[in-house]
Amino acid sequence: MKRILPGLIMLVIAGMAMESKERNPMSSIYTGHLNLSVEDSINKALDYQIKNYPVSQYRDVYKNFMQDFYGPGHLLTDTAGSGRYLRKELEEGAPFDGPLYEPTGYKGNFMRVNLGLIADGTIPYDLFFRTFVESIQGIQPPEDSEWMRTWEKIDSVLTVRNLSFQNEEEDRKALSAQFAEGDYVVHHSQRYNDSVRFHYRIISTPLFHSRILPLIKKP
Low-confidence ranges of the chain (pLDDT < 70): 1-34, 73-78, 138, 218-219
Query: Residue 88, by phi and psi: left (phi above 0), alpha (psi -120 to 50) or beta?
Result: alpha
Which residue range is the domain that position 149 belongs to?
Answer: 6-217
Structural domain includes residue 157: yes
Structural domain includes residue 138: yes
Q: What is the DSSP letter of 53?
A: -
Largest Cα span, the chain: 50
Structural domain includes residue 139: yes
Structural domain includes residue 1: no
| pLDDT for residue 3 | 42
| pLDDT for residue 61 | 98
Structural domain includes residue 114: yes
Structural domain includes residue 165: yes
Contact between 113 and 203 under an 8 Å Cβ cutoff? The reply is yes
Domains of the chain: total: 1
* Sequence-distant (≥ 6) Cβ neighbours of residue 71 within 8 angstroms: 1, 109, 110, 135, 136, 139, 202, 204
| Distance from C-alpha of 58 to C-alpha of 41, rounded to nearest angstrom | 18
| pLDDT for residue 15 | 43
| pLDDT for residue 138 | 65
